[in-house]
Amino acid sequence: MKILVIEDETKVGAFIKRGLEEHHHQVEVYADGIGGQQAALEHDYDLIILDLMLPGINGITLCRNLRALEVGTPILMLTALNATQDIVDGLNAGADDYLAKPFHFSELIARLQALSRRKNQFHQDQAILAFADLQLNTNTKMARRGGQDITLTAKEYALLELLLKNTGKVLSRALISEAVWGLEFDTGTNTIDVYVNYLRNKIEKGFSGEKLIHTVVGMGYVMKQK
Amino acid sequence: MKILVIEDETKVGAFIKRGLEEHHHQVEVYADGIGGQQAALEHDYDLIILDLMLPGINGITLCRNLRALEVGTPILMLTALNATQDIVDGLNAGADDYLAKPFHFSELIARLQALSRRKNQFHQDQAILAFADLQLNTNTKMARRGGQDITLTAKEYALLELLLKNTGKVLSRALISEAVWGLEFDTGTNTIDVYVNYLRNKIEKGFSGEKLIHTVVGMGYVMKQK
DNA sequence: ATATTACTATGAAAATATTGGTTATTGAGG
DNA sequence: CCTCAATAACCAATATTTTCATAGTAATAT
């Protein structure tokens, strides 16, 4: 996920950044509200972590501004302990959740996951990912081709979902490794190739439809037709 | 959605109506409580937006009346800023959420979405949830299969209800944990698995009907047939 | 000809199922 | 108000099942 952190205490900001990066997120930190607001408007983040105590602009105002400008990105507020009024104000200003400082990092991760889950639950418009005569139902986690249901394992599903969300784009092994296995390094193994093979056996072998997962030698794999 | 707005300030009423219509909702506005209450009883709305400061009848009274008359439609109160007592009274009278005036339109939209989400998840005022030959009576909290009554504990009931309200959808342990136990973090225990096992023993073991709760390894559990 | 990718079998590891026991909670009776 | 018993909730261990990662070989592309 791409995450924007607006936090003036540099130590706290660095702590959050480091921790989130260890969880394979992409993080940008702004120490002032003005810069943070600008960034939020210009880029498309998956989550904004916003300290309410900021120099320059009040966090609640910032939050309200973003919502007024139709920025729908989930916002997680950081508040001082027992700042009940801040919490109420913040939620009214359009924030989605809050976390009282000081907090354990695991709490932050938990909130973050809860938020993305909630968001995914609401965004049900993309329940089915389809390409050519292949469909992937993100609710049932089942694939379907030629009227036939196909059961996938967790890794197979993650891989197919990635391919279907990036049809026509060549995905490098490094990118696949990071997205599906959460690894940022090259393991030196052929695990990805093996899983591509598993997928091909399930969604291509025995089906009359054309080949969908194509190898680009030296580059990676693509989901495409022709 | 079909939305009823009860608001005496015509400017505010018009503002809400216009905004909601831009979001493709169907809106009716009543400027007085008596007319609004009448409308709420006669038509079937998806949401009622109710100003607490009304001429003729008090908003809280109106809210209480509707609930007494078995109108289950979600009610979103509009209150003056810092009218804490009103908020408490309103929620006690059966309102589902509140919004302090003045508010940004995006806040209203957010509340509305949150309410409809909550409603879909929890407020299915259908007394009996049924799937295949299994029934769950949400009033008596009893399950029934093959003409035989099954008593459930609180957690078992909550879990079964969740599954039945999301048949066909794979529910992750994280989601189940949040919905049934209210936890946003992973306790590191296998409590969910144990309760799935309890449920299976009660609703599957000893019944001729087919298996209904399916495990999807690495993903979670689903209620489905076949 | 060689680098790269495809395929396959297998043991290891992870995930899940099941069971037994411990701690909480509740409700009746003293 | 307390005690006790019954039930529910929870946890941890072990058993079982499924999935995964590896490595070796075959096939294919450049």
Q: How does pLDDT run across B60-78, given as a tens digit for each residue?
A: 888 888 888 878 888 898 8
Give the lowest-confidence range in A121-125, A161-165, A188-192, B55-59.
Answer: A121-125
Does A110 have pLDDT greater than 90? no
pLDDT digits 0-9 by tens, A189-214: 899 999 999 999 999 988 888 899 99
Tokens of B146: 């093959």
Last residue of some domain: B71, B95, B122? B122
Task: Return the pLDDT at B54.
Answer: 83
Q: Are residues B178 and B163 in the same domain?
A: yes
Q: Are residues A163 and A133 in the same domain?
A: yes
Query: Residue B185 sits in a domain of what CATH number?
Result: 1.10.10.10
Q: Are residues A139 and A115 in the same domain?
A: no
Does A124 have pLDDT greater than 60? no
Tokens of B224: 């489905």
Cα B104 from Cα A183, distance rounded (Å): 42
Last residue of some domain: A122, A156, A177? A122
The segment with the largest mean pLDDT, out of A158-167, B123-132, B178-187, is A158-167
Q: Please answer yes or no on whether A140 and B104 come within 8 Å at the CB atom.
A: no
Does A115 have pLDDT greater than 70? yes
Task: Return the pLDDT at B124.
Answer: 43
Q: Are residues B14 and B84 in the same domain?
A: yes
Residues of B with CB under 8 A from a CB of A: 99-100, 103-104, 106-107, 110, 113, 117, 168-170, 172, 174-175, 178, 184-186, 216-219, 222, 224
CB contacts of B214 in chain A (<8 Å) are none
User: Residue A140's beta-bridge partner residues?
Assistant: none
Cα B3 from Cα A186, distance rounded (Å): 55
Q: Are residues A104 and A10 in the same domain?
A: yes
Which of A92, A112, A160 would best serve as a mutation to test chain B binding (most B beta carbons within 10 A)? A92
Q: How many residues can be counted in chain A?
A: 226
Q: Are residues B136 and B155 in the same domain?
A: yes
How long is the CA A15 to C1' C18 vector, in angstroms? 42
Report the number of distinct structural domains present in chain B: 2
Show the domain range for A45.
Answer: 2-122
Last residue of some domain: A84, A106, A122? A122
Q: Are residues B22 and B112 in the same domain?
A: yes
A133, amino acid identity: D
Strands of B128-131's sheet, edge to edge?
B128-131, B134-137, B142-145, B148-151
Task: Return the pLDDT at A170.
Answer: 95
DSSP letters of chain B?
A: -EEEEE-S-HHHHHHHHHHHHHTT-EEEEESSHHHHHHHHHHS--SEEEEESS-SSS-HHHHHHHHHHTT----EEEEEETT-HHHHHHHHHTT--EEEEES--HHHHHHHHHHHHHHHHHH----SEEEETTEEEETTTTEEEETTEEEE--HHHHHHHHHHHHTTTS-B-HHHHIIIII---S--SS-HHHHHHHHHHHHHTTT-SSPP-EEEETTTEEEE---
Cα A207 from Cα A148, distance rounded (Å): 10
Instruction: Give the DSSP H/E element, type plus range, for residue A97.
Output: strand A97-101
Q: Are residues B175 and B214 in the same domain?
A: yes
Torsion, Cα A7 A12 A15 A20, to 10 degrees, reads -30
A156 with A202: CB under 8 angstroms? yes
Does B195 have pLDDT greater than 60? yes
Average pLDDT of the segment spanning A39-62: 89
Cα Rg, chain B, nearest whole Å: 21
3 state DSSP class of A215: strand
Cα B83 from Cα B147, distance rounded (Å): 52
Q: Are residues B80 and B44 in the same domain?
A: yes
Cα A194 from Cα A191, distance rounded (Å): 5
Average pLDDT of the segment spanning B89-99: 79
Does A122 have pLDDT greater than 60? no
Q: What percent of chain A has pLDDT over 90?
A: 44
pLDDT digits 0-9 by tens, A54-81: 887 888 899 989 988 888 888 898 987 6
Q: Are residues B154 and B208 in the same domain?
A: yes
Cα B41 from Cα B126, distance rounded (Å): 19
How long is the CA B201 to C1' C18 vector, in angstroms? 11
Q: Which residues contact A58 (CB under 8 A, 6 or more apart)?
A: A33, A52
Give the lowest-confidence range in A39-43, A92-96, A171-175, B41-45.
Answer: A92-96
CB contacts of B186 in chain A (<8 Å) are 110
Assembly ipTM: 0.70
Query: Is the bond preceding residue A102 a cis peptide, omega within 30 degrees?
Result: yes
Q: Are residues A6 and A92 in the same domain?
A: yes
Q: Are residues A84 and A117 in the same domain?
A: yes
Taking alpha carbons only, the member of A147, A159, A124 closest to residue A207 is A147
How long is the CA B60 to C1' C28 vector, in angstroms? 41
Query: Residue B54 sits in a domain of what CATH number?
Result: 3.40.50.2300
The segment with the largest mean pLDDT, out of A90-104, A143-157, B112-126, is A143-157
The segment with the largest mean pLDDT, out of A96-105, A207-216, B9-18, is A207-216
Top-confidence residue, B74 or A114: B74
**Strand C contacts in A 202-221 (CB under 7 A):** 215-220
Q: What is the band of A123 on the pLDDT scale with cuts at 50, 70, 90?
A: very low
